[in-house]
């Protein structure tokens, strides 16, 4: 019997000493199966594109091999200190413009915000449309005390194929700061 591997699994008869007569086909069938396994696995640094060695090790292998196709990943990072104004404005360095395939994306923004008191508003915009907004309100701080408050927003957004601009806008009524040099960077991620 010739091997059916890798399209199927072989089934071999179990032979018993002093009962069964071993014929040449018995070890030959097993040898055929071993050769099929070796061909499927491949030799080290195989160039056979459907061998497991090639799929796992070759940098030329694509999904479902060594390099897996991944959703697009884009990041904007703000490292300068910035102060908000009294109306919504683009947050410095928090804008990503890319050409996307039609895709479901996660948009994430995070930043530590420094303030003494007041209200701050943050929103994620996609192509000029507000997709989500959050706010923080600080009151009761006296004597010049301040706080650093983490702001985090995340939304799932389906983008049509084409160019899209994703950005963060903010404003406050008390000149809130994003002091990246002291408290950490602001980050916008689209994945």
Residues 117 and 175 in one domain: yes
Task: Give the pLDDT band of residue 37 (cuts 50, 70, 90).
Answer: confident
For residue range 97-121, list pLDDT tens digits in order.
998 888 889 999 999 998 877 788 9
CATH number for the domain that contains residue 91? 2.60.120.760
DSSP character string of 74-129:
EEEEE-SEEE--SS-EEEEEEEEEEEE-SEEEEEEEEEEEEESSEEEEEEEEETTE
Residue 25: which H helix or E strand, with range? helix 25-41
Helix, strand, coil share (%) of the chain residues, nearest 5: 15, 45, 40
Q: Where among 36, 68, 100 does a domain terminate?
A: 68
pLDDT value of position 8? 84
Residues 53 and 111 in one domain: no
Phi and psi for 53 in degrees, rounded to 5? -60, -45
For residue range 132-181, list pLDDT tens digits in order.
999 988 766 555 667 788 999 999 999 999 999 999 999 988 778 888 88
pLDDT value of position 33? 84
Mean pLDDT across the stretch 181-188? 90
Rounded to 5°, angle at Cα 95 from 98 and 152: 120
Residues 4 and 88 in one domain: no
Number of independent structural domains in the chain: 2
Residues 118 and 133 in one domain: yes
Find the domain containing 26 and state its range: 1-68
pLDDT value of position 170? 95
pLDDT value of position 34? 86
The answer to whether residue 60 scores a pLDDT higher than 90 is: no
Spatial separation of the C-alpha atoms in residues 155 and 181, rounded to whole Å: 27
């Amino acid at each position: 019997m010739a091997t059916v591997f890798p399209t199927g699994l072989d089934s071999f008869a179990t032979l018993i000493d002093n009962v069964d007569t071993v014929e040449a086909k018995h070890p030959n069938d097993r040898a055929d199966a071993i050769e099929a396994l070796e061909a499927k696995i491949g030799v080290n640094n195989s160039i056979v594109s459907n061998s497991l060695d090639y799929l796992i090790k070759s940098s030329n292998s694509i999904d479902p091999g060594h390099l897996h196709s991944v959703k697009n990943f884009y990041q904007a990072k703000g490292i300068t200190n910035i102060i908000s104004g009294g109306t919504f404005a683009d947050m410095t360095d928090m804008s990503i413009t890319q050409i996307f395939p039609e895709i479901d994306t996660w948009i994430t923004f995070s930043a530590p915000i420094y303030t003494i008191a007041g209200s701050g508003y943050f929103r994620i915009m996609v192509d000029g449309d507000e997709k989500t907004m959050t706010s923080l309100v600080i009151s009761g701080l006296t004597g010049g005390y301040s706080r650093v408050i983490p702001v985090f927003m995340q939304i799932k957004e389906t983008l049509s194929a084409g160019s899209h601009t994703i950005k963060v806008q903010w404003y406050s009524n008390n000149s809130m700061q994003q002091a990246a040099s002291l408290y950490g960077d602001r980050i916008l991620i689209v994945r």
